Homo-oligomer: A and B are copies of this chain.
Amino acid sequence: MSTYPPLNALRIFEAAARLESFSAAANELHVTHGAVSKQIKQLEEWLDVPLFERASGRVKLTETGWRYLVQIQDGLDLIANATSQLLQPDRQRRLSINSTPTLAMFWLLPRLAGFREQYPDIDLHLVTSDRDISRLEAPFDIAIRRGPGDWPGHIAKPFMKEWELPLCSPALLAANPIHSAADLARHTLLYADTRPTAWQRWFTLAGVPDLKPASSLHFDRFSLALQAAIDGVGVVLGPLPMARQAIDSGKLLAPLAAPVVPVRDYCWIAPRAALDDGAIHAFCQWLEQQAAVV
């Protein structure tokens, strides 16, 4: 719940500030200069700060007024843009895809050009989130999450497996070789808040449950941790096949082949009622085909 200033006055303030002239604003807004003068005065009284300095029949924004302008201008632009988009809707079909960030960044994005070529009439809106789909606020046409899951009212299908291995950049490996799990103690390990126990699980399976790294970096999402590994910052417990492209292109190496920690399969999830939709059907098929290629 928010408190708004008098919005009509705000609209008029934006024009007057942009044009640095009450009479110009009056012309633009098709009102009298007196109306502009009064609205500005009303807004200043409501906010209890001067927004303009007045001198010799001229106005100049105060520092406060200028800062306020920059911020509310963005807000007003968003409103204007949303409104004009609604008044002139696109003709193309637009699918809203809600994917986990890691899959989006490292697996889905590199393949999207292919989808574009195959389906030039389908626009995509890609949103990334780790939230359970029942807690998403925005509607989606297709969501991608790890399964198995309880998604009532939806159809879901696994289309890709995932597993984890330590990954680091070739430069880092050359500077500080890794031949065994114990060698990781000399490295910076990269952690993601979304997978807090991943490294500990790997240590346990690798037989070094008490291993302490030289240092650590923490990220709020995994895609940042993986990118940090590519940038040579440290060692990440990397998901495959997501990181396959980075490995194939030489950006990342897997110095230790074992243990391979399996993680749950990725599923596409679509509202049951929407499965007659050709575009949704096409995207799901395409997902399966892309994963089968791996």
Contact check, A196 vs B227: say whether CB atoms are below 8 A apart.
no
Checking B2, B86, B138 against A64 with a beta-carbon cut-off of 8 angstroms, the contacting residue is: B86
Checking B47, B112, B150 against A83 with a beta-carbon cut-off of 8 angstroms, the contacting residue is: B47
Q: How far is the CB of A27 from chain B (nearest CB, A)?
A: 11
Measured between beta carbons, the chain B residues less than 8 angstroms from A49 are 86
Cβ contacts A221-233/B at 8 Å (1 or 0 each) = 1001001100111
Checking B10, B84, B150, B217 against A112 with a beta-carbon cut-off of 8 angstroms, the contacting residue is: B217
Q: Which of the segments A32-40, A67-75, A252-260, A286-294 contacts the partner chain?
A: A67-75
Contact check, A112 vs B47: say whether CB atoms are below 8 A apart.
no
Interface residue A8 (Cβ < 8 Å from any Cβ of B): yes
Interface residue A200 (Cβ < 8 Å from any Cβ of B): yes
Measured between beta carbons, the chain B residues less than 8 angstroms from A232 are 113
Interface residue A77 (Cβ < 8 Å from any Cβ of B): yes
Checking B72, B126, B215, B218 against A82 with a beta-carbon cut-off of 8 angstroms, the contacting residue is: B72
Q: How far is the CB of A134 from chain B (nearest CB, A)?
A: 12
Interface residue A45 (Cβ < 8 Å from any Cβ of B): no
Instruction: Say yes or no: A218-B75 contact (C-beta < 8 A), given A64-B86, A83-B3, A113-B231.
Output: no
Instruction: Say yes or no: A126-B81 contact (C-beta < 8 A), given A1-B28, A47-B86.
Output: no
Cβ contacts A114-155/B at 8 Å (1 or 0 each) = 001000110111111000000000110000000011100000
A87 to B48, CA, bound (A): 8
Q: Which of the segments A103-111, A157-165, A275-283 contacts the partner chain?
A: A103-111
Measured between beta carbons, the chain B residues less than 8 angstroms from A1 are 15, 28
Residues on A close to B: CB < 8 A? 1-5, 7-8, 10-11, 15, 28, 47-49, 63-64, 66-68, 70-72, 74-87, 90, 92, 94, 104-105, 109-110, 112-113, 116, 120-121, 123-128, 138-139, 148-150, 188, 196-197, 200, 214-221, 224, 227-228, 231-234, 264
A-B contact pairs, 16 of them (CB 8 A): A2-B84, A4-B83, A10-B79, A64-B86, A66-B139, A67-B149, A74-B75, A81-B200, A109-B228, A110-B231, A112-B231, A113-B233, A116-B215, A125-B219, A126-B224, A128-B221
Known: A71-B150, A126-B218; 7 extra A-B contacts, CB below 8 A, are A2-B76, A4-B79, A4-B80, A8-B8, A67-B148, A127-B220, A128-B221
